[in-house]
């Protein structure tokens, strides 16, 4: 069965090994039966709980040893479920009051919890449903005396093929043997995916029911960076992927030594490499990839995929989490940027014929101040937990910035009057993504602490080319002389007023653009976590002074194509300036 199956790459990398199948636990629905001695049935249940507790303590200890205390926290949560009176006492009550068998009471009670929690909008509650399923499954196995495959005992190299993996399955994988895993269901944010990333093994999740046809021992190739699984590859494919894997592994090993370093050019100019994040899980990835901070937290993701606005309290919790996790490193949090391609159906906003030119981002926030004020209050309250900077998106004219700052100040005064603690000093900056703001950056520079250039939008507005429209995507030309000149203008304007200038559009992580941006004097480069180490290594090979001259030269060329050729000539083949 030669086949290529597409799924979601949950943890990058390549693996080649034989399939080891984990059969889904047979569906078991216990039948209700009466017991003569409910008290001894209750004791049998408590015994199974104690055995589950012993398992979990052992898994927690070995996870802590292998992966550190924060990864072992999941099992702390599992142990707490075993002590949760709402669940455990309810089961005991059912056994005692109705004189039913423990299996039935466990199944009935846990099922109602799992069903209720899995329908919740809140992702954390849905994850709790998965945890309860995992824990109660464990108690059930002890009650029934059945065994689950012990994944820590696997000794032969393999790729695990499973319906889904629970966090405890994942934590128990013997990394001496398991080369990767692939599951039928799951998403990038499922617990098993998160564990795979921390274990640093390639994984594909959500690969669908075709996986169920794979036979034990079939040769598999995982290319998780592409989300592709090859089943029974041809010898040509195998040779191709072996070579790809060797290149990947070599590059990864080379890059790993850059994780804990500062970023500096060959002539010792310091710049900062920071990460773009959208979800709380992204923070760990940013840290693992050596981010020196967060350059863009797209907070609109906290508002998406749900049915109502997140409360002030919920937002406060999210911002506090990120700030604490980054432990004093800078965290730039952008206020809500909804509109354009990012919709919030529950806000019932009127349809616009040009949404990217419509009531987006700060424009919407100024129109709906209650929305804006809730977010600002949450941000201000969280500010004392780290090094927070607030950034406003989509500003075109100075009045918008001044109004946003006024509202921020007003909320700050109110909070202080209420006796809340707000950080002494919070830097306030703006995105430069509207050409009007870019050309008058000198006028804005007096009013902000920093600029961050949002090239994804800036380029679409400069080129008058919708970033969602494939047919005009050829006009997305970050290294076009017009764009580079505009960027230079913003950097110069910021510098003249002593303000730092960063970039958080995709261009900041583009290896061809980086030498030019370094040359133009960009201070902070914010990009997806995976791009940080290659960028750090690249910058270490470049001379800022030399690239400053090259950037000037590049901007006299007439097309992006000529500029790209120019950059490549000066960065390749040991001829590095
Ligand atoms: C940008 O426009 O460059 C940017 C970073 O913002 P977003 O991609 O979220 O619009
Ligand atoms: Mg933008």
Convert the pLDDT of each residue in 358-403 to its tens digit. Answer: 999 999 999 999 999 999 999 999 999 999 999 999 999 999 999 9
Residue 574 scores a pLDDT above 50: no
The verdict on the CB of residue 478 being under 6 Å from ligand 1 is: no
DSSP state of 100: B
pLDDT tens digit string along 540-557?
A: 999 999 999 999 999 999
**Contact present, 391 and 431 (Cβ < 8 Å):** yes
Assess whether 10 and 127 both reside in one domain.
no
Question: What is the model's pLDDT at position 26?
Answer: 64
Domain count of the fold of the chain: 3
Strands 387-392 and 272-277: what pairing?
Answer: unpaired
Task: Count CB-CB contacts under 10 A for residue 466.
Answer: 18
pTM score of the predicted model: 0.70
Could you say which ligand is closest to the alpha carbon of residue 297?
1
Assess whether 367 and 461 both reside in one domain.
yes
Question: What is the model's pLDDT at position 123?
Answer: 75
Which residues make Cβ contacts (< 8 Å) with residue 452, sequence separation at least 6? 295, 296, 332, 391, 429, 430, 431, 432, 501, 502, 503, 504, 524, 526
pLDDT tens digit string along 72-119?
A: 888 888 999 999 989 999 999 999 999 999 999 999 999 989 988 888
pLDDT tens digit string along 132-175?
A: 988 998 999 889 887 667 787 788 999 999 988 877 778 778 88
The verdict on the CB of residue 505 being under 6 Å from ligand 1 is: yes
Assess whether 121 and 158 both reside in one domain.
no
Write the CA distances from 269 to 466, 507, 517, 544, 547, integer angstroms: 36, 20, 13, 7, 12
Cα–Cα dist 462/477, whole Å? 10
**Residue 252 forms part of a structural domain:** no
Question: What is the model's pLDDT at position 575?
Answer: 45
> What's the CATH code of the domain at 379?
3.20.20.60
Residue 576 scores a pLDDT above 60: no
Cα–Cα dist 177/161, whole Å? 14
The verdict on the CB of residue 298 being under 6 Å from ligand 1 is: yes
Q: What percent of the chain has pLDDT over 90?
A: 70
The verdict on the CB of residue 339 being under 6 Å from ligand 1 is: no
pLDDT tens digit string along 461-514?
A: 999 998 888 788 899 999 999 999 999 999 999 999 999 999 999 899 999 999
User: Across the chain, what does the average pLDDT equal?
Assistant: 91
Angle at 240 between CA 235 and CA 245, to 5 degrees: 120
Nearest CA to ligand 1 atom 8: 456
Least confident of 118-132, 278-292, 346-360, 381-395: 118-132
More confident residue, 288 or 198: 288
Question: What is the model's pLDDT at position 25?
Answer: 66
Cα–Cα dist 123/144, whole Å? 32
Which residues make Cβ contacts (< 8 Å) with residue 313, sequence separation at least 6? 378
**Residue 33 forms part of a structural domain:** no
**Residue 169 forms part of a structural domain:** yes
DSSP string, 365-417: HHHSHHHHHHHHHHHHHHGGGTEEEEEE-S--SHHHHHHHHHHHHHHHHHHHH
Instruction: Tell me the residue range of the domain where 157 lies.
Output: 3-24+150-236
Strands 294-298 and 330-334: what pairing?
Answer: parallel
Compute φ and ψ for 451, nearest 5 degrees.
-115, 150
Compute φ and ψ for 158, nearest 5 degrees.
-160, 165
- Hey, which residues does 274 pair with through a beta bridge? 526
Average pLDDT over residues 276-301: 92
pLDDT tens digit string along 406-426?
A: 999 999 999 999 999 999 999
Task: Count CB-CB contacts under 10 A for residue 459.
Answer: 24
What is the band of 344 on the pLDDT scale with cuts at 50, 70, 90?
Answer: confident
**Residue 251 forms part of a structural domain:** no
CA-based nearest residue to 71, from 213, 258, 196, 174 = 196
Final residue before a domain boundary, out of 144, 171, 205: 144
Final residue before a domain boundary, out of 144, 160, 187: 144
More confident residue, 530 or 417: 417
- Burial group, residue 255, by CB count within 10 angstroms (0-12, 13-18, 19+): middle
Assess whether 123 and 193 both reside in one domain.
no
Assess whether 217 and 348 both reside in one domain.
no
The verdict on the CB of residue 330 being under 6 Å from ligand 1 is: no
Cα–Cα dist 37/41, whole Å? 6
The verdict on the CB of residue 300 being under 6 Å from ligand 1 is: no
Which ligand 1 atom sits nearest the alpha carbon of residue 504? 5
What is the band of 440 on the pLDDT scale with cuts at 50, 70, 90?
Answer: very high
> What's the CATH code of the domain at 75?
1.10.274.10
Which residues make Cβ contacts (< 8 Å) with residue 336, sequence separation at least 6? 299, 300, 303, 361, 364, 365, 371, 372, 375
CA-based nearest residue to 185, from 420, 24, 2 = 24
Assess whether 366 and 342 both reside in one domain.
yes
**Residue 257 forms part of a structural domain:** no
The verdict on the CB of residue 360 being under 6 Å from ligand 1 is: no
Out of 364, 433, 437, 525, give the residue to mutate to test ligand 1, the one with the largest number of ligand atoms within 8 Å of its CB: 433
Assess whether 421 and 537 both reside in one domain.
yes
Distance in Å, CA 568 to ligand 2 centroid? 28
Instruction: Report the Cα 64 to chain-centroid distance in Å.
Output: 22
Out of 334, 461, 504, give the residue to mutate to test ligand 1, the one with the largest number of ligand atoms within 8 Å of its CB: 504
Assess whether 126 and 158 both reside in one domain.
no
The verdict on the CB of residue 455 being under 6 Å from ligand 1 is: yes
Residue 503 is inside which H or E element, if any? Answer: strand 500-503
Instruction: Report the Cα 162 to chain-centroid distance in Å.
Output: 24
Assess whether 158 and 296 both reside in one domain.
no
Distance in Å, CA 352 to ligand 1 centroid? 20
Distance in Å, CA 448 to ligand 1 centroid? 19
Assess whether 489 and 561 both reside in one domain.
yes
**Contact present, 294 and 238 (Cβ < 8 Å):** no
Cα–Cα dist 501/520, whole Å? 11
Strands 219-223 and 14-22: what pairing?
Answer: antiparallel
Question: What is the model's pLDDT at position 23?
Answer: 77
More confident residue, 305 or 324: 324
Residue 523 scores a pLDDT above 70: yes
**Residue 527 forms part of a structural domain:** yes
Which ligand 1 atom sits nearest the alpha carbon of residue 298? 9
Final residue before a domain boundary, out of 115, 144, 173: 144
Assess whether 469 and 548 both reside in one domain.
yes
**Residue 210 forms part of a structural domain:** yes
Could you say which ligand is closest to the alpha carbon of residue 503?
1
**Residue 92 forms part of a structural domain:** yes
Q: In what order do the strands lie in the sheet with 14-22?
A: 3-6, 228-231, 219-223, 14-22, 158-162, 178-183, 203-205, 8-11
Distance in Å, CA 456 to ligand 2 centroid? 6
Question: What is the model's pLDDT at position 371?
Answer: 96
Annotated active-site positions, please? 191, 504
> What's the CATH code of the domain at 193?
3.50.30.10
Assess whether 117 and 164 both reside in one domain.
no
Cα–Cα dist 523/501, whole Å? 6
Average pLDDT over residues 310-330: 97
Which residues are placed with Cβ below 5 angstroms of ligand 2, an ion? Answer: 433, 454, 457
State the chain's maximal CA–CA distance in angstroms. Answer: 92
């Amino acid at each position: 069965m030669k086949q290529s199956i597409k799924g979601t790459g949950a943890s990058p990398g390549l693996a080649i090994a034989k399939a080891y199948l984990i059969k889904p636990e047979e569906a078991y629905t216990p039948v209700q039966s009466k017991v003569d001695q409910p008290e001894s049935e209750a004791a049998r249940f408590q015994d199974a709980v104690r055995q589950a507790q012993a398992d979990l303590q052992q898994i927690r200890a070995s996870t802590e040893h292998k992966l550190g205390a924060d990864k072992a926290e999941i099992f702390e949560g599992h142990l707490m479920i075993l002590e949760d009176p709402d669940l455990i006492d309810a089961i005991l009550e059912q056994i005692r009051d109705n004189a039913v068998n423990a299996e039935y009471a466990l199944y009935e009670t846990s099922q109602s919890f799992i069903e209720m929690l899995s329908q919740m909008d809140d992702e954390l509650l849905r994850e709790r449903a998965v945890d309860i399923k995992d824990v109660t499954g464990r108690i059930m196995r002890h009650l029934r005396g059945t065994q689950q495959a012990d994944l820590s005992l696997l000794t032969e190299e393999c790729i695990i093929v499973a319906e889904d993996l629970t966090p405890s399955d994942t934590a128990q994988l013997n990394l001496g043997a398991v080369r990767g895993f692939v599951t039928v269901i799951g998403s990038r944010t499922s617990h098993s995916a998160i564990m795979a990333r921390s274990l640093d093994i390639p994984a594909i999740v959500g690969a669908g029911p075709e996986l169920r046809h794979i036979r034990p021992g079939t040769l598999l190739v995982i290319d998780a960076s592409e989300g592709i699984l090859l089943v029974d590859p041809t010898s040509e494919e195998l040779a191709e992927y072996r070579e790809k894997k060797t290149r990947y592994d070599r590059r990864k090993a080379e890059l790993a030594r850059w994780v804990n370093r500062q970023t500096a050019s060959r002539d010792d100019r310091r710049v900062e490499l920071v990460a773009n994040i959208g979800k709380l899980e992204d923070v760990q990835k940013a840290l693992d990839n050596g981010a020196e901070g967060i350059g863009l937290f797209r907070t609109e993701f906290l508002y998406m995929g749900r049915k109502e606005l997140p409360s002030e309290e919920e937002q406060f919790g999210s911002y506090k989490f990120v700030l604490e996790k980054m432990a004093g490193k800078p965290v730039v949090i952008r206020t809500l940027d909804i509109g354009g391609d990012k919709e919030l159906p529950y806000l019932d906003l009127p349809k616009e014929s040009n949404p990217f030119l419509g009531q987006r981002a700060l424009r919407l926030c100024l129109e709906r101040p209650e929305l804006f004020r809730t977010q600002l209050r949450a941000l201000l309250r969280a500010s004392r937990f780290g090094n927070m900077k607030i950034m406003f998106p989509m500003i075109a004219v100075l009045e918008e910035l001044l109004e946003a700052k006024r509202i921020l100040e007003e909320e700050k005064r109110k909070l202080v009057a209420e006796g809340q603690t707000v950080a002494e000093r919070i830097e306030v900056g703006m995105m430069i993504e509207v050409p009007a703001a870019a050309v008058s950056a000198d006028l804005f520079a007096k009013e902000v602490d920093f600029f961050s250039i949002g090239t994804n939008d800036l380029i679409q507005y400069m080129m008058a080319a919708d970033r969602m429209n494939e047919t005009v995507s050829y006009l997305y030309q970050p290294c076009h002389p017009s764009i580079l000149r505009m960027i230079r203008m913003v950097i110069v304007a910021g510098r003249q007023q002593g303000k730092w200038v960063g970039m958080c559009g995709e261009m900041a992580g583009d290896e061809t653009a980086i030498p030019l941006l370094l040359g133009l004097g960009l201070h902070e480069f914010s990009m997806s976590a995976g791009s940080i180490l290659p960028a750090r290594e690249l910058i270490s090979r470049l001379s800022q002074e030399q690239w400053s001259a090259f950037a000037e030269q590049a901007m006299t060329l007439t097309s992006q194509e000529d500029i790209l050729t120019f950059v490549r000539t000066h960065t390749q083949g040991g001829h590095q300036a």
